[in-house]
Structure 1
Amino acid sequence: MYKALSDVFDQVIRECNEHNAQFQSLIRKMVEQNLDIETTRNDEHYGAAVHHLSLLRNKRCLMAYMYNRAEVIQSFRWKIGPVLPHEIQEKLQFSEKEYFKNHSAVIKSYMSEMDIDLTVDMVPPKDPYIQVRVLEDIGEVSLGDHSISLTKNSLHFLRRTDTEQFISQVTSSVLVLPGHEELEKPHAF
């Protein structure tokens, strides 16, 4: 957080302390006068109510800001990845950096436990299958729960999740055919 924002937080907390002191003073005054706090409707009662409501308003404002800030920090994990750039890190408090680190650790733990990478394909593909043409003999390949023979010039309709690992490993043996607009360019493997 910027220093100015930290100063605003400090100012709101000081204001809350002042409201709390006034609230306590008014309640004490009512008790000293042997007035029933629940049923008495006098100046002290209404003053205490105003200070109490001011405390609640300030609390709601600070909580809303912190909630929004936490959402932004969580979104960094999905948009930027597990490591924040220096220019973002320098704008975070230590506790916010720890929050980001812990949030990333929870996501990583969940993904490893479920054996799924949630950061891949943030936009769901239009079709879970892709059509590939084999440009060179690859031979027998194990894809998920089955194996397939990838021979030269053969055409296959395969699950995207089964073929993604090959797209990044092999460069010129297979071509993903057009018609899959979500792919930026034809991939070869």
Structure 2
Amino acid sequence: MADSVRQYGELATQLLIESRRSTATDFLLKYNDVLVRSILREQRQLEALIQDTLQIQDANGLGDDPHMPTILLYQTAILRNKRCLLAYHHHRLERLKDMFWSVGGALPLLLSTHSTSTGGSTSMNAPANSADVRSKLSPHEVDFLRSYSDSLLQFRSSVLATEEVDLFAPITRPPKDLHVLVRVIRDCGVIQTEVGAIDFRRGQRFLVRRADVEHLIVQGYLEEV
């Protein structure tokens, strides 16, 4: 019994170590479904042990129960596991939101392309890659990103309908000019601008209004010259 008790919480500690490694390397690791499920099984086991101990207490009918320290130990392990699970998932969701904004809110681009760095310092011009982003996510994380994107689009259409504000534009370096000279990195088709429709083909250069192509710069289709 003592050996098994000393092992409670070790799996949850592995989750925290994994999160720290992800932060240190600025790289999103694959969702550890096996480890999460193992911790949940441990939670159910601890809850069952508490119930068994409480039944012994009721059977004995003792006012000052000697099993209370055992119950407190199990409960402490349960609470610690919960905190570790919440910290792990919170860490991943925050990184997913950073990734979402790094591609200008283009969810299809995020789920279909690759990126060498998936943290807040992701290069604006390069989702280019070591592993498919979507393959690292759990189904619930994909659902979260879709819901997050839908909420932002709804906010954008309802609140900002009358304002010329690009919700997905980067704010780290505010633009100094209304127009910008850009070079096309990847074909992105015909885009409507204030001077008319422009067919952006790879290798071409254009002087356009920044507001018309800001999202394409963020998503890596264009780069400033």
Percent identity, please. Answer: 20
Separation in 2, partners of 1:64, 1:173: 44
Structure 1 residues 173, 108: closer, same or farther in 2, change over 3 A?
Answer: closer
Q: Which residue of 1 aligns with 2:68?
A: 45
Of 52, 75, 78, 1:25 maps to 52
Shift of 1:167: 8.6
Larger Rg: 1
Per-residue displacement from partner, 1:83-132 (whole Å, max 9, x unpaired)? 224311122122111110010011111112222321113325276xx588
Structure 1 residues 30, 123: closer, same or farther in 2, change over 3 A?
Answer: same
Amino acid at match of 1:102: S
Shift of 1:8: 0.8
2:145 maps to 1:95: no
- Could you list the runs of 5+ residues in structure 1 that have no partner in the other structure? 133-164, 175-183
Q: Which structure has the higher relative contact order (CA within 8 Å, separation 6+)?
A: 2
Q: Which residue of 1 aligns with 2:166?
A: 117
Separation in 2, partners of 1:168, 1:123: 29
RMSD: 3.1
- Could you list the runs of 5+ residues in structure 2 that have no partner in the other structure? 1-28, 113-131, 180-192, 199-205, 210-223
Q: Which residue of 1 aligns with 2:95?
A: 72
Structure 1 residues 110, 32: closer, same or farther in 2, change over 3 A?
Answer: same
Separation in 1, partners of 2:144, 2:207: 43
Amino acid at match of 2:54: I
Of 37, 50, 53, 1:10 maps to 37
Structure 1 residues 168, 89: closer, same or farther in 2, change over 3 A?
Answer: farther
Shift of 1:172: 6.2
Amino acid at match of 2:94: E
Contact 2:57–2:65 (8 Å) recurs in 1: no
Structure 1 residues 167, 119: closer, same or farther in 2, change over 3 A?
Answer: farther
Shift of 1:169: 7.5
Paired residue secondary structure (1:90): helix
Shift of 1:168: 9.2
Separation in 2, partners of 1:82, 1:67: 20
Of 107, 121, 126, 1:82 maps to 107
TM-score, length-scaled by structure 2: 0.52
- How many residue pairs align between the two structures? 138
Q: Which residue of 2 aligns with 1:157?
A: none
Tell me whether 60-69 or 115-124 shows the greater mean CA deviation.
115-124
Separation in 1, partners of 2:70, 2:157: 56
Separation in 1, partners of 2:178, 2:33: 55
Separation in 2, partners of 1:96, 1:20: 27
